[in-house]
């Protein structure tokens, strides 16, 4: 090997040839990963509610474990379980018979969001219009644009869609133009929430 | 990104009126779609569903947030890279080039050489960033986050190096041979635990010459202890 000025090594990242997923097999480690993910997803929930979710996730893992103990997992699987537990809980609460956001008056909703009632109504109308306009877009533009609106970069959206970056970029920007035209057609020139 | 686009993104992310529909995919399906574990056609259907369903859009965003923060999703390819860089990084070419490089190293290693004294590696530390403007972080105590690299300079150009990592109490120790391009294995985090402080130094090795060691530095591994 010849002389060189600098040498460096880096931590593994998924997709790199040297990447090997970290395995987790003790209850404490499993619990730590689950708790970290659930705390992050439900930061506004009470500590008790978050702890309940951690327990539910541990129970789910225990039920799936074939032998004694908690089992051996990759961290990615634990994050997947945590995500699933949280989303299921949100869906369960959305379906529960207690008062949902849809049943609250504009005054109550405005109070929840620290806004004036007319502000809340206007923002809700804008969001409805946004969904309507998204539905009206050409399917490919809708798919690319929804990823973009969710915070994916164009290259990331291209990878998720399995399209070339150029095609994805075109769909995003044409989708944005169509969306704007549609919203303006509905008399909405801004969509502040 | 324009102010208007920011408004659109915020409006899209807000609002969860009404219950989720009966055709909403399971959270696991949303997770798998985001992490490319679902076939392309099914993934496409999930993506389209999130355009119409605020609940599943929220589930998608939640999955994206923790997957990104946990470093579970590989970084997106850089479309601005010129064609020859993308060609050089092609999955088929990288092992081929690495194999050729290894063969070249072996040939140089086996060839005649004059042994000379080895100087220890110097300027060791943690480097952040690549390309034209890499930034040398403080040599001691830096967090070795993804994207940061252990770096050093070898004034004599030894044939190979190894990194020695050990815990402050000396109970855990790893010796990793380094031959570029080499990636620090997840074994490091497994051995020392996330968030651990680890001491490290580099040893320059060159055939018959005894190894010359760099100064000892410290790093903090990513994650919470």
Q: CA gyration radius for chain A?
A: 23
Q: Could you tell me the pTM of the whole model?
A: 0.56
Q: What is the pLDDT of residues B25-81, one digit of tens each?
A: 999 999 999 998 888 999 999 999 998 888 899 899 999 988 888 888 776 655 555
Q: Which of B71, B82, B183, B214 to mutate to test the interface with A (most CBs of A within 10 A)?
A: B183
Give the DSSP letter of residue B189: H
Which residue on chain A is closest to B56 by alpha carbon?
A87
Asked if residue A118 has pLDDT above 70, the reply is: no
DSSP E strands in chain B: the ranges are: 122-128, 135-136, 142-143, 148-153, 160-166, 173-178, 197-206, 209-213, 217-220
Q: How far is B170 from chain A (nearest CA, A)?
A: 22
Which of A85-94, A125-134, A157-166 tops mean pLDDT? A157-166
Residues of chain B with pLDDT > 70, as a percent, come to 52
Tell me if B76 and A153 make a contact (CB, 8 A cut-off): yes
Taking contacts as CB-CB distances below 8 angstroms, the residues of chain B near A2 are 108, 157
Contact B42, B75 (CB under 8 A): no
Place of tokens 């644009």: A145
CA A104 to each of CA A101, A111, B37: distance values in angstroms, whole numbers, following the listed order: 5, 10, 39
Backbone angles phi, psi at A174, to 5 degrees: -70, -35
Q: How far is A121 from chain B (nearest CA, A)?
A: 12
Q: Assess A10–B contact: CB distance below 8 Å, yes or no.
A: yes
**What tokens appear for A5 in the block?**
């000025």
Report the greatest alpha carbon distance in chain A.
74
**What tokens appear for B208 in the block?**
């018959």
Q: What is the pLDDT of residues B74-123, one digit of tens each?
A: 766 555 555 555 555 555 555 555 566 665 555 445 444 444 566 777 77
Q: How far is A154 from chain B (nearest CA, A)?
A: 9
Q: What is the pLDDT of residues B179-221, one digit of tens each?
A: 543 455 566 777 788 788 888 888 877 766 667 778 777 888 7
Strand B197-206 with B217-220, pairing:
antiparallel
Tell me if B151 and A154 make a contact (CB, 8 A cut-off): no
Tell me if A155 and B150 make a contact (CB, 8 A cut-off): no
**What tokens appear for A50 in the block?**
């978050």
Tell me if A150 and B182 make a contact (CB, 8 A cut-off): no
**What tokens appear for A96 in the block?**
């529960």
Q: Assess B185–A contact: CB distance below 8 Å, yes or no.
A: yes
Contact B47, A108 (CB under 8 A): no
Q: What is the pLDDT of residues A15-54, one digit of tens each?
A: 544 444 455 667 888 888 899 899 888 887 888 889 999 9
Q: b/e per residue, A123-137, with b = 16+ CB within 10 A? A: bbebbebbbebbeeb
Q: Assess B191–A contact: CB distance below 8 Å, yes or no.
A: no
Tell me if A192 and B10 make a contact (CB, 8 A cut-off): yes
Q: Which of B174, B184, B176 is nearest to B160 (CA)?
A: B176
Tell me how long chain B is: 225
Tell me if B36 and A37 make a contact (CB, 8 A cut-off): no
Q: What is the pLDDT of residues B130-171, one digit of tens each?
A: 544 555 556 666 676 665 667 777 777 777 777 888 877 777
pLDDT at B53: 87
Report d(CA B153, CA A8) in Å as an integer.
9
Question: Which of B13, B43, B51 faces A160 most closely, judged by CB atoms?
Answer: B43
Report d(CA B58, CA B66) in Å as an integer.
13
Q: How far is A68 from chain B (nearest CA, A)?
A: 22
Report d(CA B167, CA A183) in Å as an integer.
59
Segment holding A30, helix H or strand E: helix A27-41
Contact B93, B87 (CB under 8 A): yes
Question: Which of A11, A150, A193 faces B146 most closely, judged by CB atoms?
Answer: A11
Task: List, as ranges, residues 83-102 from A with C-beta within 8 Å of B.
Answer: 83-84, 86-88, 90-91, 94-95, 100-102
Contact A129, A183 (CB under 8 A): yes
Q: Assess A104–B contact: CB distance below 8 Å, yes or no.
A: no
């Amino acid at each position: 090997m010849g002389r060189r000025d600098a040498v460096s090594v880096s931590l593994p990242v998924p997709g790199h040839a040297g990447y090997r997923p970290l395995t987790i097999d003790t209850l404490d480690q499993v619990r730590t990963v689950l708790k970290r993910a659930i705390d992050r997803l439900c930061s506004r929930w009470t500590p008790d509610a978050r702890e309940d979710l951690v327990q539910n996730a541990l129970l789910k893992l225990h039920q799936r474990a074939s032998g004694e103990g908690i089992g051996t997992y990759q961290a990615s699987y634990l994050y997947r379980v945590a995500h699933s537990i949280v989303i299921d809980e949100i869906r369960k609460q959305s379906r529960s018979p207690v008062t949902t956001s849809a049943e609250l008056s504009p005054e109550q909703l405005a109070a929840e969001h620290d806004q004036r009632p007319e502000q809340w109504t206007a923002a809700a109308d804008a969001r409805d219009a946004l969904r309507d306009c998204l539905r009206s877009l050409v399917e490919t533009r809708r798919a690319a644009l929804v990823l973009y609106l969710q915070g994916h970069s164009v290259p990331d959206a291209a990878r998720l869609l399995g399209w070339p970056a150029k095609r994805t970029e075109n769909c995003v920007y044409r989708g944005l133009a169509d969306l704007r035209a549609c919203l303006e057609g509905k008399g909405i020139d801004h969509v502040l929430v | 990104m324009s102010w208007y686009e920011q408004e659109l993104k915020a409006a899209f992310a807000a609002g969860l009126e009404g219950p989720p529909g009966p055709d909403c995919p399971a959270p696991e399906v949303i997770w798998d779609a985001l992490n490319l574990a679902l076939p392309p056609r099914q993934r496409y259907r999930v993506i389209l569903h999130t355009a119409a369903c605020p609940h599943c859009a929220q589930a998608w965003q939640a999955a994206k947030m923790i997957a990104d923060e946990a470093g579970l999703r590989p970084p997106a390819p850089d479309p601005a890279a010129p064609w020859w860089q993308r060609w050089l990084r092609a999955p088929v070419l990288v092992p081929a080039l690495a194999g050729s490089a290894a063969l070249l190293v072996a040939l140089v290693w086996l060839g005649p050489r004059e042994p000379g004294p080895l100087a220890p590696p110097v300027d060791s530390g943690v480097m952040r960033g690549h390309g034209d403007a890499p930034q040398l972080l403080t040599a001691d105590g830096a967090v070795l986050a993804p994207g940061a690299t252990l770096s050093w300079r070898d004034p004599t150009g030894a044939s190979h190096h190894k990194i020695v990592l050990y815990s402050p109490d000396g109970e855990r120790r790893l010796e990793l041979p380094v031959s570029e391009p080499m990636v620090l294995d997840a074994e490091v985090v497994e051995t020392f635990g996330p968030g651990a402080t680890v001491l490290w130094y580099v040893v320059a090795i060159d055939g018959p010459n005894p190894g010359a060691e760099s100064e000892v530095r410290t790093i903090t591994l990513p994650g919470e202890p």
